[in-house]
Amino acid sequence: MFGLSALELARIQFGFTVSFHIIFPAITIGLASYLVVLEGLWLWKKVAVFRDLYHFWSKIFAVNFAMGVVSGLVMAYEFGTNWSYFSAFAGGVTGPLLAYEVLTAFFLEAGFLGVALFGWSKVGPTLHFFATIMVALGTLISATWILASNSWMQTPQGFEIIDGRVVPVDWLQVIFNPSFPYRLAHMVAAAYLATALFVGASGAWHLLRRRDTLAVRTMLSMATWMVLVVAPMQILIGDQHGLNTLKHQPAKIAAIEGHWQNTPGESVPLILFGVPDMTAETTRFAVSVPHLGSLILTHSWDGQIPGLKAFASEDRPNSTVVFWSFRIMVGLGMLMVLLGLWAGWARLRHQLYRSRPLLRFAVLMGPAGLIAILAGWFTTEVGRQPWVVYGVMRTSEAVSNHSPQVLSATLAIFVLVYCTVFGTGISYMIKLVARGPDASLGQAEEMLHRRPARPLSAAPDHVDPAVDLVKE
Amino acid sequence: MGVDLPVLWALIIGFGLMMYVVMDGFDLGIGILLPFVRSIEDRDTMVNTVAPVWDGNETWLVLGGASLLAAFPMAYAVLLSALYIPLVLMLTGLIWRGVAFEFRFKADAAHRPFWDKAFAWGSYVATIAQGVSLGAFINGFKVTGPSYQGGAFDWLTPFSLFTGIALLAAYALLGSTWLILKTEGGLQRRMIALTRPITLTVLVSVGVVSVWTPLNHAGIAARWFSFPDLFFLAPVPLLVLVAAWAMLRVLNRAPNAAPFCLALLLLLLGYSGLAISLWPNIIPPNISIRAAAAPPQSMGFTLVGALFIIPFILGYTAWSYFVFRGKVKAGGGYH
């Protein structure tokens, strides 16, 4: 298809399926913890608004979770179907990590999800709270294992190569590999931020539509507090993560910065914009700030980082892609900090629920967290190339023996199915959000007294366009 | 004497796959039976009987994949790339089916039939793809070194197509007997009526596979039809006949849980028959669990977790089934 090689098609297929997938667990991680907070506040303060918000968000959580499960199932098999040489080579390390993820996280989430979503009237309040906590704990444990595995592929250690395959010798070193703590903190914070932005945008959207209720205000208030605190934290974590990458994967940093070579004794500028050209080995149209690159990356005025030319051309990641994906992520991160500060300032002036420019900005920032997550993952994964296990196995050696025809056909199937199914699912989620937390009050009352209508589907029915709930 | 890691892991993966086949078997079976039930209310009831547990059921499939990668990475690599096309079809089937659980209740009346169809078609495609993969697995794969060397369509044979259809019948049996257990009234009567022909179809399918397999594979024939093994193995097919006969009997006397138990027994017998045929190979026809085993450091590390955690998983899974126990009533009771 389009003259692409089997390797390129396999990479596109994996990139496509994993990019779609990551959206759902990111929201799952954030919403699960948010649900714990809401239920905890309800049990502690007995203020009805927390209970109502719990029921409202648990419906959106349910739709999102189902999509996360089925898109994640694909991932568990794709390592073998598309990257069989990688699996045979490195399965001794990545397999146990994945198995632990299933054992300690997936079952925990799945086992308690039914009760958390539909057991409100079937078990006592403490037991129900426990189930919600178990689901949230499951999402965090899951993130821990999968990021340990991914980080090991980025910064592998604790293994030997015997008979042409990886043999783990020290599991603590494998799991706590150099980039793992940074990546884990960065991803969990990203999931919390993305969810806070999503929740905040929902609240702001209703306020713009003059649905000014306590539940809507509470949503926006909690979300903007979260953004105010987590967005600046995330920038600090990201900075530390970047320094860690510079130490262990300098080629990735050089590619991110579009930095080709050093002049002795000269500082590294920060290229704000430019177009890195891989064949001409230069960054065109560069707009740069002197010394800032040194300052950020070495925390010194004249420090140097290796340029891309210091690496053999077959060992260089694609700078054109990661230069831009990184800037998208950072740019959005800055806007998140701005949103947090603006909302905090508006709160002080009692304008948080009234300032329409602020509310519009919050709505626009709704998907920003998810876009930043995708941009960040593109940066770190494309930046790892040409390696699948950094410095140990090349991606070209990892790919299965499928023909381009077969890969094109399966890619077409995935694109078609994902866009239809998940497109519909995402539209259902947005429609549920548009109904607002107060529309579901009746439903919440019903759930208090009766069994739910449908065990794994607490959401109110009919959110299809024909019913048009958005109509005012 | 140390712990025999490859054998233990083969047992764990075998157990995990069996849990998957049993549990996702009955919820896929409900999708297979959906087209045979017209009333919207009955369809809701059918889906509601599994809605709180399907996600957990499917997790056993993820465990199967993950433990195979952990314990037998070479088998994971070879089997999954050899079965690439049927597995992609299975996954897309499971996607349609999985989201339909959520979406069919959120769609309006005009779109609902679409998601009902997606639920049924997804179940059919996923089941046939699993059955075809099973048939291809029994037939064996071309392997050199650590990698699959056969073609993209080697999995497609008359035998594998037959096992694909046969698995439909097996899952339908699990589904119909599960519904006998979980429902009442007209829907239950309908399921009792359907279970009879399904049982016979399963019986015939098991018979055909039992004859076809040893005819194709001398090694498997030798295992079953040589003395004294024949004597020890004979109870398996005999018990199949007894279970099928008992099933047809209990269906006549206001059954409840008995048909589901018998369906489980039939399935376990079929499963153990396969295990007897293929042991100790993990990539038929001739790569054994020892040849495909991961380094002992990998198997040992994961084993500790598996042995410690699986009992807890079984515990809270059982608890979840207990919370949602009893008959699922149409509309009212469950509403």
CB contact, 8 Å: A360 with chain B?
no
**B108 inside 8 A of chain A by CB:** yes
Q: What is the pLDDT of residue B101?
A: 81
Of A372, A363, A327, A92, the C-alpha closest to A231 is: A372
The chain B residue lying nearest A61, using CA atoms, is B102
Beta bridge partners of A159: A168
Q: Tell me, what's the pLDDT at A472?
A: 31
Helix (H) or strand (E) holding B220: helix B218-224
Residues β-bridged to residue A166 = A161
Q: Which residue of B111, B297, B322 is the best one to mutate when testing the A interface, meaning the one whose CB has the most A CBs within 10 A?
A: B297
The answer to whether A127 contacts chain B (CB < 8 Å) is: no
The closest CB to that of B76, out of A91, A101, A451, belongs to A91
Distance from C-alpha of A22 to C-alpha of A71, rounded to nearest angstrom: 9
Residue in A80, A110, A457 closest to B81 by CB: A80
Does A368 touch chain B if contact means CB atoms closer than 8 Å? no
| CB-nearest partner of B102 from A66, A85, A406 | A66
Report the C-alpha gap between A190 and A403 in whole angstroms: 37
Domain ranges of chain A: 1-177+403-472, 212-400
Considering only the beta carbons, identify the residue of A107, A406, A454 that sits closest to B84. A406
Contact at CB, B48 and A455, closer than 8 angstroms = yes
The ipTM value here is 0.88
Within 13 Å of residue A240, how many CA atoms lie on the same side as its CB? 14
| Cβ(B81)–Cβ(A81) below 8 Å | yes
Q: Is residue B23 part of a domain?
A: yes
Partner residue facing B108 (CB), from A66, A88, A462: A462
Number of helices (H), then strands (E), belonging to chain B: the values are: 13, 4
- Name the A residues in 416-435 with CB < 8 Å from any B CB: 417, 421-422, 424-425, 428, 431-432
> The tokens 């709160």 sit on which residue?
A347
Chain Cα centroid distance, residue A42 = 28
Q: Looking at the complex, does the CB of residue A445 fall below 8 Å from at least one CB of chain B?
A: no
Instruction: Count how many Cα atoms sit within 13 Å of the Cα of residue A442 in the half-sphere of its side chain.
Output: 4
Contact criterion met (CB < 8 Å) for B63 and A428: no
Range of the domain at B287: 5-330
**Which residue is associated with the tokens 């006592």?**
A124
What does the pLDDT profile of chain A (472 residues) look like in tens digits? 567 888 999 999 999 999 999 999 999 999 999 999 999 999 999 999 999 999 999 999 998 998 998 898 888 889 888 998 999 899 999 999 999 999 999 989 988 888 888 888 888 999 999 999 999 999 999 999 999 999 999 999 999 999 889 999 999 999 999 999 999 999 999 999 999 999 999 999 999 998 899 999 999 999 999 999 999 999 999 999 999 999 999 999 999 998 888 888 888 889 988 899 888 888 888 888 888 888 888 888 888 888 889 899 899 999 999 999 999 999 999 999 999 999 999 999 999 999 999 999 999 999 999 999 999 999 999 999 999 999 999 999 999 888 899 999 999 999 999 999 999 889 889 988 998 887 655 444 444 444 444 434 444 444 444 333 333 3
pLDDT tens per residue, range B175-232: 999 999 999 888 999 999 999 999 999 999 999 998 898 888 888 888 888 877 777 7
Task: Please indicate whether, in this complex, the C-beta atoms of A453 and B92 are within 8 angstroms of each other.
Answer: no
Interface of A with B in 230-289 (CB under 8 A): none
CB-closest option in A92, A403, A457 to B102: A457
From the candidates A14, A20, A70, which should be mutated to test the interface with B, based on the most B CB atoms within 10 A?
A: A70
What is the residue-level pLDDT of chain B in tens, covering all 335 positions? 467 899 999 999 999 999 999 899 998 999 999 999 988 889 989 988 888 788 888 888 889 889 999 999 999 989 998 999 999 999 999 999 988 887 887 777 788 888 999 999 999 999 999 999 999 999 888 888 777 888 888 899 999 999 999 999 999 999 999 999 999 888 999 999 999 999 999 999 999 998 898 888 888 888 888 877 777 788 888 999 999 999 999 998 888 889 999 999 999 998 888 888 888 888 888 888 988 889 999 999 999 999 999 998 898 888 888 888 888 876 533 32
CA distance B123 to chain A (A): 13
CB pairs < 8 Å spanning A and B: 279
* Bridge-based pairing state of the strands B287-288 and B281-283: antiparallel
Residue B335 maps to a domain: no
Please state at what angle helix A404-435 crosses helix A180-208, rounded to 10 degrees: 50
CB contact under 8 A, A102 and B63: yes
Classify residue B33: in a domain, yes or no: yes
How many domains does chain B fold into? 1
Q: What is d(CA A463, CA B129) in angstroms, rounded to the nearest whole number? A: 33
Residues in contact with A79: Cβ distance below 8 Å, sequence separation at least 6, in sequence order: A86, A87, A94, B69, B76, B80
CA distance B165 to chain A (A): 23
Report the residue from A100, A111, A165 with minimal CB separation from B316. Answer: A111
For an interface test with A, give the residue of B48, B78, B94, B102 to mutate (most A CBs within 10 A). B102
Q: Is A24 on the interface with B (CB under 8 A)?
A: no
Q: How far apart are alpha carbons A190 and A372 in whole angstroms?
A: 8
Amino acid at B287: I
Give CA–CA dist B200/A156, Å, rounded.
55
